[in-house]
Structure 1
Amino acid sequence: LPARDVVYDTGQPPVVPARSGPIRLAVSRSRPPEFVTALAEKLDAVLVPMGSAGVKGMAVVTGEADAYVHAGGQFEWDSAAPVVVARAAGLHTSRIDGSPLEYNREDPKLPDLVIAHPDVAEEVLAAIGTLQQG
């Protein structure tokens, strides 16, 4: 988080704070996707607008948000570092269907991802599943 003059790493992973209250979803401040807006409605969650993928991923690590769900596609390099730090800190990381994230593939596009506090990960994934079923 260069704007905050903070660097997170896996050598001494951050301690994720306990969560309480309604689920808070990190979302793009300039273009919140319909998918996440519908997810927030399904979860009765609060949208927390913020900047880049890295900022949103680290917001879950720092407790500013409880989950970051991205379903619009991005490149591996947009999420690789935030995901590894989130994993080291004990957070849930996966694709939106719950399958593992895979990096270093021939095609560097990553279609979707979830970074979530372990207390809400199952609930978030279940809500995503019901939205996908229509």
Structure 2
Amino acid sequence: MSTSLIQSADVELAGQIATIAGNLLLQLQRSGLFAGKALGKAGDRTANAFIMEALAAQRPDDAVLSEEEQDNPARLSARRVWIVDPLDGTREYGEAREDWAVHVALTVDGVPVAGAVALPALGLIFCSGPDLEIPRAPARPRMLVSRTRPAAEAVAVAAALGADLVPMGSAGAKTMAILRGAADIYLHSGGQYEWDNCAPAAVALAAGLHVSRIDGTPLVYNNADPYLPDLLICRTEDADRILGLLGKGKATFCEQKVAKKLY
């Protein structure tokens, strides 16, 4: 079987698993058996159990890195590694908001080659593939930021661009907001892990969006330390300007962080 056929089957599997996990989460949420933080914890465990079982059945020879599983160092020597977040936006899920997601992605040699992001509360699933389209850019750009802790870098760049801020929960929900035409730029520097952005990155790359660290370097996955704290996802034509603004403001941002620690 050719590499392209393998990846096509992997995309289909990622979408199927993310969709079913999302439906399970919706059923659990609507059951009334749990609420708030307890609902979030139950959702994490339920979705993770299903995803791990499904991958073990369908891709028994592949390694898996999941937020909800104890890390297995054996993945570091594997070429094919699935990176999943069974419930991205646990707080939003517990609050019965719409901005939570299910992330399922496959990396090969550290590169995200297949991925799916389900937005169950919206009834949407986005899979990496050639049929994805980027909506037309509006006159005034919209910058996605955290609901609870907007990064200083994002706020500063938004001001320089004259962009409106769009607070949102899950990283997957933020990235898919660009593909839905609800936002234009996702700039994050407040700390994430590989499972937070791997599936969103796979889908965004397939759609032709710019995806990188905030210093312009590629996102690389399946590292010994899965901490991957920053990213930029935007239209390719906007990337150079945004990265330039980030470079100019780097010293100021560092000074602000030092000041926060001191005072």
Match of 1:31 in 2: 149
In the other structure, the counterpart of 1:82 is 200
Q: Do structure 1's residue 48 and structure 2's residue 160 form an aligned pair?
A: no
Report the Cα offset of residue 86 of structure 1. 0.3
Does 2:238 align with 1:120?
Answer: yes
Across the aligned residues of Structure 1 and Structure 2, the Cα RMSD in angstroms comes to: 1.3
TM-score of the two chains, using structure 1 as the length reference: 0.92
Given candidates 126, 139, 146, the residue that maps to 1:8 is: 126
Aligned residues: 134
Query: Secondary structure at 1:110's aligned position in 2?
Result: coil
Instruction: Please tell me whether residue 100 in structure 1 is matched to residue 215 in structure 2.
Output: no
Instruction: Say if 2:129 and 2:203, in contact at 8 Å, map to a contact too.
Output: no
**Alpha carbons of 1:72 and 1:13: their partners in 2 closer, same or farther (altered >3 Å)?**
farther
Indicate conservation of the 8 Å contact 1:66/1:120, yes or no. no
* 1:65 Cα offset (Å): 1.2
Deviation at 1:13, TM superposition (A): 4.2
CA displacement at 1:12 relative to structure 2? 4.8
The 1:106–1:67 alpha-carbon spacing in structure 2 relative to 1, beyond 3 Å, is same
- Cα drift, residue 8 of structure 1: 0.7
Separation of aligned partners in 2, 1:13 and 1:129:
34
Greater helix fraction, Structure 1 or Structure 2:
2
Any stretches of 5+ residues in structure 2 without a counterpart?
A: 1-118, 253-263
In 2, Cα distance between the equivalents of 1:104 and 1:45? 34
Q: Which structure's CA Rg is the greater one? A: 2
- Quick one: higher RCO (CA 8 Å, sep 6+), 1 or 2? 1
Contact conserved, 1:23 with 1:120, CA < 8 A, in 2? Answer: no
Structure 1: give runs of 5+ residues left out of the alignment.
Answer: none
Distance 2:123 2:155 in 1: 31
- Between 17-26 and 74-83, report the one with greater CA deviation: 17-26
Alpha-carbon spacing, 1:126–1:4, altered in 2? closer, same or farther (3 Å): same
Question: Which 10-residue stretch deviates more, 42-51 or 97-106?
Answer: 42-51
CA distance in 1 between partners of 2:196 and 2:215 (Å):
19
8 Å Cα contact 1:61-1:91 kept in structure 2: no
Amino acid at match of 1:9: C
The residue identity in structure 1 corresponding to 2:217 is S
